[in-house]
Structure 1
Amino acid sequence: MNEPQPVLIVGATSAIARATAAEFARRGHALFLTARDAAELGRIAADLRLRYGQPVETEAFDLADTEGHASLLQRVEASVGPLYGVVLASGSLGNAERTREDEGEAARLLHINFTAPALLLNRIARELESRAEGFIVGIGSVAGDRGRQSNYVYGSAKGGLALYLQGLRNRLNSCGVQVLTVKPGFVDTAMTYGLPGLFLVASPQSVGRNIATAVDKKRDTLYTPWFWRWIMLIIRSIPERVFKRLSL
């Protein structure tokens, strides 16, 4: 009997990450979950073990601690074996108003949404490349497709992550490692709860299913739900001379 292929879920306490973790456990993968909330990680892991009967290990870890990335990956391998895949779901919407006045808040958002994820994925990419197998999933946002005054710091970080993943995909394609860029629209999560102007809000469960299916099908980019691909195509096609006058 084959050993379950280990998948690391970073930011595992988010609603999208929980749903995605359930889909990979359903497919027979061993899981290693990381996030900052140890107690919540324990509850999620216990539920997944009970439901799917797969090995699930956890560790409380702050992705922003880039100096700890190498030792984290060593502990992951010691616990569940060499990684086959990673789902990078960590991030923070932050406070857009504060980023205009507070450089510390802007730096925090840029670090947690781009710099820290890219540095962790750099390390994981080297491991997968050496074995010529596996997958990397980076969860970005449709906010990264075009800069808007309402959230351009967050959006620029997610846009940078998408560009990073595109380059990583180009690099790893020849060795058979899949890199999937996920761009969710509005999803019913704690991060979006109470925000004004939300529409066409998807459930985390449907997004998790879409992500796992996209990995199965070796997709490169996933807009989820599917119609966001066309919504963002329209938004990207608006000429800048017009777009800059809009209040978005």
Structure 2
Amino acid sequence: MSATLLILGAGSDIARACAHRYAREGYALQLAARDPASLEADAQDLRLRHGVEVTLHAFDALDLAGFAPFLDTLPALPNVALCAVGTMGNQAESQRDPQAAARVMRTNYEGPALILGMLAERFEARGSGTLIGISSVAGERGRASNYVYGSAKAGFTAFLSGLRNRLARGPVRVITVKPGFVATRMTEGLPLDPRLTAQPDAVAEAIWTAQARGRDVLYVKPVWALIMAIIRALPERIFKKTAL
């Protein structure tokens, strides 16, 4: 039997690239999104191009009560679960509107963390599995330009680290992915430096390689590890003067 990959937030550009990368290796795919019907064309393309089984599932990261029924109705417990759920939101709107801020925080942290935690319990009971969470370098230090989004990603990164530490002596693995800038619909129109920006296909390839090599934390472009180390090291009195 082929291995199975579950993708949560399967409509994103990174998720689509990962679906194709894993399908090339023969993985069956479970694609989950709020509107699974919107994924039908992608599913058909994956079936035709790679000859793999693809199923579509409704999943809302804000519907906590629906998490257990969602997992219970999957055709099989996946071997790998990739969480690509996320939204950038708008910092100015989040500053003004607590409900907007709550959506950003819940979508980027609460929902992804809790569903991966539930999957971890099921993987642990089975005795195998890999959990992959797409976080962000934005979570490494609070910056004025996106601190609501960044704070949620910081929480998600910390959750993945703690979950990995708890499961370290067993057969379940946890991988944290920090892509840096990625050329996607979410970042379209932003002035991104091409030297620091990855394409979705490159992110998918890096994730596949990280899983194969047993990596714990992945910076898709290694330069981001250096950049964030410098940013983290700045004294607060200096960091407050930056325009990050």
On whether the aligned pair clears a TM of 0.5, the verdict is yes
Percent identity at matched positions?
A: 48
Between the two proteins, the alignment pairs up a number of residues equal to 243
Deviations along 1:138-179, one digit per CA (max 9) or x if unpaired, are 000110111100000100100110000000001111112110
Structure 1 residue 82: Cα displacement: 2.1
C-alpha RMSD over aligned residues: 1.2
Deviation at 1:182, TM superposition (A): 0.3
- How many Å apart are 1:197 and its aligned residue? 5.0
Q: Counterparts of 1:115-154 in structure 2 under 5 Å?
A: 115-154=110-149
**TM-score, normalised by the number of residues in structure 2:** 0.96
Give, in whole Å, the separation in 2 of the partners of 1:171 and 1:43.
39
Give the one of 203, 210, 221 matched to 2:206: 210
Deviates further, 23-32 or 214-223: 23-32
- Which residue number corresponds to residue 43 of structure 2? 45
State the distance in 2 between where 1:193 and 1:82 align: 35
Q: TM-score, normalised by structure 1?
A: 0.95
Residue 105 of structure 2 contacts residue 149 of structure 2 at CA under 8 Å; is this kept in 1?
yes
Pick from 92, 96, 107 the counterpart of residue 97 of structure 1: 92
Shift of 1:60: 3.0
Aligned residue in 1 for 2:23: 25
Describe the SS at the equivalent of 2:57. strand
Residue among 164, 183, 191 paired with 1:188: 183
- 1:235 has 2:231 as partner: yes
1:115 partner letter: E
Q: Could you tell me whether the CA contact under 8 Å between 2:139 and 2:152 is conserved in 1?
A: yes
Give the Cα separation in 2 of the matches to 1:151 and 1:94.
9
CA 198–151 in structure 1, closer or farther in 2 if over 3 Å, else same: farther
- Which ranges of structure 1 fall in alignment gaps of 5 or more residues? none
Bigger Cα displacement from structure 2, 149-158 vs 26-35: 26-35
Contact 1:41 1:60 (C-alpha < 8 Å) held by counterparts: no
8 Å contact from structure 1 (residues 141, 182) kept in 2? yes
Gaps in structure 2 of 5+ consecutive residues: none
Out of 197, 201, 208, the position equivalent to 1:201 is: 197
- Aligned-partner residue type, residue 42 of structure 2: I
Q: What is the aligned partner in structure 2 of residue 36 from structure 1?
A: 34
The C-alpha deviation readout for 1:224-247, integer Å capped at 9, x for no partner, is 122211111111111111001111
**Contact 1:144/1:158, CA 8 A, preserved across alignment:** yes
* Counterpart secondary structure, 1:67: helix
1:150 partner SS: coil
The answer to whether the Cα contact below 8 Å between 2:181 and 2:192 also exists between their aligned partners in 1 is no
8 Å CA contact 2:109, 2:155 repeated in 1: yes
Match of 2:218 in 1: 222
Q: Aligned partners of 1:101 and 1:197: how far apart in 2?
A: 26
- The letter for the 2-side match of 1:122 is G
